Structure 1
Amino acid sequence: MDERPIETLVEVRVTNGPIHSPYPFPPASIDNAGAVIMFRGIVRPNEKSIDVEDLNAAREKPIEGLKYQVYQPMTTRELTRLAAAQAQRHGILAVDVDHSEGFVAAGECSFVLQVAGEHRDEAIRFIDEFIVEMKRQVPIWKVPRWQISRT
């Protein structure tokens, strides 16, 4: 990989509710891209629930959706910092991050990460590492809204 510094476009948004369509990259920001990859995080229909009788036991329970709580403006600042640092590390040309806050129903999109890189392997590694670090470092919490059984 070329060691010259890459000028990276980083865009970050926090969207109220589900994300319906990603923002396209401006064409000039991806002129040298050999790979443009989009990852969409979808709310699963089940979440792990801890049994209060046995704290080591967790089971999947159906949910209506997740309520995402964010700590602004720190969330946007940390997403931007993380995206810029990881982009420099992997030689990424452009990054677009959109994460939901508020309620997102099961089956709907709560997170979109778009990456443009000169090569696919760098873009794929960026996505994997960014998501792992985002979950560790960025103040975003999810609270399940459990389905009520009607028996």
Structure 2
Amino acid sequence: MSEVIRLCTVRETPLSVDEVFTAVQDSSAGGVAVFVGTVRDHDHARDVTALSYSAHPSVERELRAVMEKVAADYPVRGLAAVHRVGDLEIGDLAVVVAASCPHRAEAFAACRALIDELKAQVPIWKHQTFADGGDEWVGAC
């Protein structure tokens, strides 16, 4: 299964949709689904002025475990996931994931499972600062 995991990393540098898309390309895949998460300027009707992500040292091991589960549950030909940490600006790419599969429905399902499980299981935390002076930590991103 791990040969389908083509890219699995967390980094402080800007993310590339092209890098993730290229990583999952496969001649046997008829569908590629890509999800891009960006930093928005608001959350829960509050204006966001700053955002930072931090991660536990086990983050890449946990991300790989999530990807292995997706690879076991779907007929993936390629999986990729990259998440940013550090200080981000409004509009920056925070996470990019992709799945390639023989058919589009499978690719959509695998990509959705990958981002949903990443957000639920991988130890990445978001710290938001709001225009009203408040801030909050958000659990797994």
Q: TM-score range by the shorter chain?
A: 0.7 to 0.9
Instruction: Say which structure is richer in helix.
Output: 2
RMSD after superposition: 2.2
Partner of 1:41: 37
Q: Structure 2 regions of 5+ residues with no counterpart? A: 134-141
Given that residues 24 and 98 in structure 2 are in contact (C-alpha distance below 8 angstroms), is that contact kept between their aligned partners in structure 1? no
Question: Highest CA radius of gyration, 1 or 2?
Answer: 1
Runs of 4+ in 1 over 3 A off after TM superposition: none
TM-score, with length taken from structure 1:
0.77
Residues 90-105 of structure 1 aligned to structure 2 (within 5 Å) = 90-105=74-89
Residue 17 to residue 144, structure 1, CA distance change in 2 (3 Å): farther
Deviation at 1:133, TM superposition (A): 1.5
Residues 1-150 of structure 1 aligned to structure 2 (within 5 Å) = 8-23=4-19, 24-25=22-23, 30-48=26-44, 60-72=45-57, 74-147=58-131
Q: Structure 1 regions of 5+ residues with no counterpart? A: 49-59
Given that residues 36 and 116 in structure 1 are in contact (C-alpha distance below 8 angstroms), is that contact kept between their aligned partners in structure 2? yes
TM-score, with length taken from structure 2:
0.82
Q: Deviations over 1:92-116 (max 9, x none)?
A: 0101111000111111110000211
Deviation at 1:87, TM superposition (A): 1.6
Given that residues 22 and 112 in structure 1 are in contact (C-alpha distance below 8 angstroms), is that contact kept between their aligned partners in structure 2? no
Across the two proteins, how many residue pairs are aligned to each other?
131
Residue 129 to residue 64, structure 1, CA distance change in 2 (3 Å): same
Deviation at 1:8, TM superposition (A): 1.7
